[in-house]
């Protein structure tokens, strides 16, 4: 019932009603407004953002695609277009981004007010290139700048394709544009390397291998940054350089730090928290140091930086507090599970307490030939052996010297064996408990024995669920591949 002019009214911060509709993503409301007054499409709201840009910033894909479809004849400024493109990329609206870059190739070279391009936005989005997003399907046969963008479906609109398309447009439009971007590793590549954006760097390195040799102002390559921030996927790309990897590993930064010095520094908290427990965090740090040590020159192991510190000394100083926390964590964990002594004591006594008693003439157990009695005997013996093993492992942890090298293999292996043995002892103890009740009560009291057995199995399951995260981390650390596996051991895409 309102007039066309009324729809153009703005509130105190400059938003029209369509701005609110696009932010909320209710396409039906936005469609009614646009059909009544198409001028609303280019009336800017707060922060001088057009409705399409607002929809993209809010992550409303359906609304953004609608607005994009009805913008024929409307010519936003170049500044508005690049804002729309970057907002669409930031919100994972790759269909909108691909359509924009397809219709306006010059956006590949356009820069926002802060001097960044769409590639810079993609460089800060590692989740868009993650393996969970199926990059293998994204990368195939897309680097063709003449492909019709509007023929693409939503299932084929990933960040990898967008990165390749933008880079392809840059290549076709202006060779100088590529050269200028290649001169900005600190803003494009080094951002991506710090955030662990492996997929983005893989795409660009395949198109332009020389990118892997780019260095930032501190004379660090993406591989040096990957070591400092503990991104193993990116560091593995060093093997794609063949013999050149030795030359890359030989670079020294402005503070005379070689790559092993960077591995000796403490990882950022966000990377340390990948593992549960300070002991496993310490182990991962040691693994990084040992793996980087394999590819640097032997002389670099004793090289001193401007502070006069060798990589080994730097590692010890940087990880002093973490080592102490790892020691406390190990001792606390081992002490907490020393209750295995109770299980060992109880099950040892149970081996001499025969269910049903013994025959007065022969002295043999009355239920000697019962299958349930065999289960009882085997489970009690297993409970004794496993609980004793668990006690020995936890005692060895408590009496360890807690040197740095101990956290690499010795201590984690003991904890894994002790925790696994404790689980076996609890499980077999419950089996012996259930077998005893079945022997004594028999089938005549199945209504009682079956619920008892169910509760016993529930106890074992509860223990397993509570301790599974720690045990799985221990197993993963023990049997995971080397941090720097060779290219043939890993698929790129």
Residue 72 reports pLDDT greater than 80: no
Per-residue pLDDT, 163: 74
Strand partners, 365: 358
pLDDT in tens, 390-444: 889 999 999 999 999 999 889 999 998 988 888 888 888 888 877 777 777 766 6
Check the CA dihedral 8-12-17-21 and report its sign.
Answer: positive
pLDDT in tens, 146-197: 233 333 333 333 576 777 777 666 666 555 555 565 555 556 788 888 888 8
Per-residue pLDDT, 252: 87
Per-residue pLDDT, 175: 54
Q: Do domains 1-73 and 74-322 have the same CATH topology?
A: yes
Per-residue pLDDT, 289: 94
Domain 1-73, CATH homologous superfamily name and number? Ankyrin repeat-containing domain (1.25.40.20)
Spatial separation of the C-alpha atoms in residues 420 and 353, rounded to whole Å:
27
Instruction: Tell me the C-alpha to C-alpha distance, in Å, between residue 26 and each of 55, 58, 95, 274.
Output: 10, 12, 19, 39
Residue 281 reports pLDDT greater than 50: yes
Per-residue pLDDT, 79: 82
pLDDT band at 368 (very low <50, low <70, confident <90, very high): low
Of 175, 181, 133, give the one whose Cα is nearest residue 158.
133
Spatial separation of the C-alpha atoms in residues 82 and 66, rounded to whole Å:
19
| Section 279-288 average pLDDT | 92
DSSP 48: G
Residue 488 reports pLDDT greater than 90: no
| Section 224-244 average pLDDT | 81
The DSSP code sequence of 237-258 is GGGGGTTHHHHHHT---TTS--
- 211: tokens are 């990118």
- 292: tokens are 């980087």
Per-residue pLDDT, 355: 66
Place of tokens 């994972």: 92
Per-residue pLDDT, 396: 92
SS3 365: strand
pTM exceeds cut of 0.75: no
Spatial separation of the C-alpha atoms in residues 332 and 450, rounded to whole Å:
37
- 164: tokens are 């390749």
pLDDT in tens, 104-146: 888 877 888 888 888 888 888 887 776 554 433 333 323 333 2
SS3 53: helix
Per-residue pLDDT, 258: 92
Torsion of Cα atoms, 389 then 392 then 396 then 398, to 10°: 110
Per-residue pLDDT, 20: 92
Per-residue pLDDT, 8: 92
Place of tokens 């023929």: 151
| Residues whose CB is less than 8 angstroms from the CB of residue 281 and which lie 6 or more positions away in sequence, other chains included | 272, 273, 275, 322, 326
Identify which has the larger pLDDT, 88 or 171. Answer: 88
Residue 41: alpha-carbon gap to chain centroid: 40
Q: Is 217 exposed, middle or buried (0-12, 13-18, 19+ CB in 10 A)?
A: exposed
Quote the percentage of the chain above a pLDDT of 70. Answer: 75
SS3 73: coil
Per-residue pLDDT, 286: 93
Average pLDDT, the chain: 78
Residue 203 reports pLDDT greater than 50: yes
Per mean pLDDT, which of 20-24, 117-121, 202-206 is the most reliable?
20-24
Residue ranges per domain, the chain? 1-73, 74-322, 337-479
Q: Which of 96-100, 297-301, 323-327 has the lowest mean pLDDT?
A: 96-100
C-alpha distance across the termini of the chain, in Å: 56
Q: What is the CATH number of domain 74-322?
A: 1.25.40.20
């Amino acid at each position: 019932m309102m007039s066309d002019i009324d729809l153009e009214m703005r509130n105190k911060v400059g938003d029209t009603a369509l701005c609110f509709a696009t932010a909320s993503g209710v396409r039906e409301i936005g469609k009614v407004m646009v059909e009544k007054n198409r001028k609303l499409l280019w009336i800017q709201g707060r922060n001088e953002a057009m409705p399409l840009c607002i929809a993209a910033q809010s992550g409303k894909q359906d609304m953004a695609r609608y607005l994009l479809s009805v913008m024929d004849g409307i010519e936003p400024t170049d500044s508005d277009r690049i804002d729309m493109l970057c907002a669409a990329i930031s919100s994972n609206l790759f269909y909108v981004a691909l359509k924009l870059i397809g219709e306006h190739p010059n956006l590949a070279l356009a820069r926002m007010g802060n001097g960044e391009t769409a590639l810079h936005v993609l460089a800060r989005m590692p989740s868009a290139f993650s393996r969970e997003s199926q990059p293998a399907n994204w990368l195939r046969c897309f680097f063709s700048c003449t492909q019709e963008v509007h023929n693409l479906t939503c299932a084929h609109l990933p960040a990898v394709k967008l990165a390749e398309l933008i880079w392809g447009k840059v290549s076709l439009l202006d060779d100088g544009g590529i050269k200028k971007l290649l001169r900005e590793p600190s803003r494009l590549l080094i951002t991506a390397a710090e955030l662990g954006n492996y997929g983005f760097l893989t795409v660009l390195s395949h198109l332009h291998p020389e990118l892997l040799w780019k260095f930032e102002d501190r004379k660090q390559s993406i591989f040096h940054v990957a070591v400092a921030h503990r991104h193993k996927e990116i560091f593995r790309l060093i093997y794609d350089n063949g013999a050149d990897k030795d030359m890359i590993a030989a670079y020294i930064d402005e503070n005379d730090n070689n790559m092993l010095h960077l591995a000796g520094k403490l990882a950022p908290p966000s990377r340390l928290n990948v593992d549960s427990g300070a002991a496993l965090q310490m182990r991962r740090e040691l693994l990084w140091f040992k793996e980087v040590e394999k590819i640097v020159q032997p002389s670099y192991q004793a090289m001193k930086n401007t502070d006069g510190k060798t990589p080994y000394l730097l590692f010890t100083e940087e990880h002093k507090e973490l080592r102490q926390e790892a020691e406390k964590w190990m001792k606390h964990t081992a002490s907490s599970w020393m209750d295995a002594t109770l299980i060992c004591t109880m099950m040892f006594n149970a081996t001499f307490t025969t269910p049903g008693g013994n025959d007065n003439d022969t002295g043999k157990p009355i239920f000697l030939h019962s299958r349930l009695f065999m289960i009882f005997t085997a489970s009690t013996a297993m409970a004794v052996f496993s609980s004793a093993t668990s006690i020995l492992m936890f005692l060895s942890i408590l009496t360890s010297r807690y040197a740095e090298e101990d956290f690499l293999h010795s201590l984690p292996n003991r904890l894994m064996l002790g925790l696994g043995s404790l689980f076996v002892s609890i499980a077999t103890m419950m089996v012996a408990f259930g077998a005893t009740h079945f022997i004594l009560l028999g089938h005549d009291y199945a209504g009682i024995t079956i619920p008892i057995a169910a509760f016993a199995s529930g106890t074992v399951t509860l223990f397993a669920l509570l301790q599974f995260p720690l045990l799985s981390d221990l197993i993963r650390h023990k049997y995971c591949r080397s941090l720097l596996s060779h290219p043939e051991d890993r698929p790129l895409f």
